[in-house]
Amino acid sequence: MDLRSFLNCCYLCVTVSSASLLNGGKKNVFVLNKTVGGEVNLSCIYNSSREISLLYVQTVAEKPEFLNGFHSKNTEPSERFKNRTSLDALKQSVKLWDLHVRDEGNYTCIVKYKDTLVETVTTMHHLKVTARYSKPSVEAVMDGEGACHLSCSSAGGYPHAWPQWTLPPTLNWTAVSATNQSSVQDPDTLLYTVSSSMVLTVNQPFKVNCSVGGATSHLVEVCTINLREDPTATDPRVVVACLFIAFLLVVVLIMVAVKVMKTSRRRSAAPPDVAEAKELDLLT
């Protein structure tokens, strides 16, 4: 911004501030909830039947930053609002797009009528910018001691929020260690990446989910393998194999018994003379 534009902006700020102090101003306040990357219309409420000489939208701060508007003098948006604002054709609102977390705060639209030097109308806006967290990712690992290590993480959210776990109310569990939480804020976007982890001992698999700022993970079954199995317990596969072998032995014994019985019956049914002839042959 060159010196002339800077002086014009200073002149406008002084003129508006002085007029507001003298008149007390008529104020309309609006609360706006928007998301990162979206857009917002900062409306200016005034009597449109009267001709205006100034419409000025700026931040409310120790050092106000100009967004957009018009005046008899040339005006330019502040550096961080360049190429992100426009004044509508009816001169009733200023649009701000590609919203950032840093855009959150208070804004004012000040209108001055042509037919008076002191009367102004001020419209106040409180802009709240949020960002939805990504769908949380849940991971679970069983260690060699049979403890279940759970972790949940989510990124890209604002404002700050901690992960919340949802465990089955009937689950019998014991916390091995306290819940560990961490968060990192991106210095440029101001968005957060958060995570939570805990270690539990459980006696059965269970389903769990995790939520962060309105985003919820899928219901995940975790800790499905318990490494601390009872060493005295019998593997079901061994039991089945033993039963199968026993069945085969019974079948074989039955077959042998049936064969022996058939042989005995054949001998008892043979004619006597044949039996005697066999005995004589054996004697001679």
24 pLDDT band, cuts 50/70/90, is very low
Q: What is the domain extent for residue 72?
A: 3-129
More confident residue, 275 or 50: 50
Closest CA to 44 of 92, 100, 101: 92
pTM above 0.75, yes or no: no
249 pLDDT band, cuts 50/70/90, is confident
In a domain, 202, yes or no: yes
Instruction: Report the mean per-residue pLDDT for the chain.
Output: 82
- Contact between 63 and 17 (Cβ < 8 Å): no
In a domain, 216, yes or no: yes
The pLDDT assigned to 39 comes to: 97
- Contact between 81 and 65 (Cβ < 8 Å): yes
Both tokens assigned to 110: 């000040």
- pLDDT tens readout for residues 93-142: 999 999 999 999 999 999 999 888 788 899 999 999 999 999 999 999 88
> 101 with 181, same domain?
no
> 147 with 93, same domain?
no
Residue with tokens 């039991």: 239
Angle, vertex CA 140, rays to CA 139 and CA 145, nearest 5: 155
> 60 with 175, same domain?
no
- Long-range residue pairs from 79-88, CB within 8 A, at least 24 positions apart, any chain: 79/1, 85/57, 87/55, 88/41
In a domain, 266, yes or no: no
CATH classification of the domain holding 108: 2.60.40.10
Closest CA to 33 of 83, 104, 85: 104
The pLDDT assigned to 97 comes to: 97
Above 80 in pLDDT, residue 244? Answer: yes
- In a 3-state reduction of DSSP, which class is residue 98? coil
Closest CA to 152 of 203, 219, 226, 202: 219
> 54 with 143, same domain?
no
Across-strand partners of 95?
41, 86
Q: What is the DSSP string of 213-274?
A: TTEEPPPEEE----S---TTSPPHHHHHHHHHHHHHHHHHHHHHHHHHHHHHHHHHTS-HHH
Average pLDDT for 199-206 = 86
> 236 with 146, same domain?
yes
In a domain, 259, yes or no: no
More confident residue, 230 or 209: 209
33 pLDDT band, cuts 50/70/90, is very high
Distances (CA, A) of 228 to 64, 85, 141, 173, 201: 65, 63, 14, 15, 10
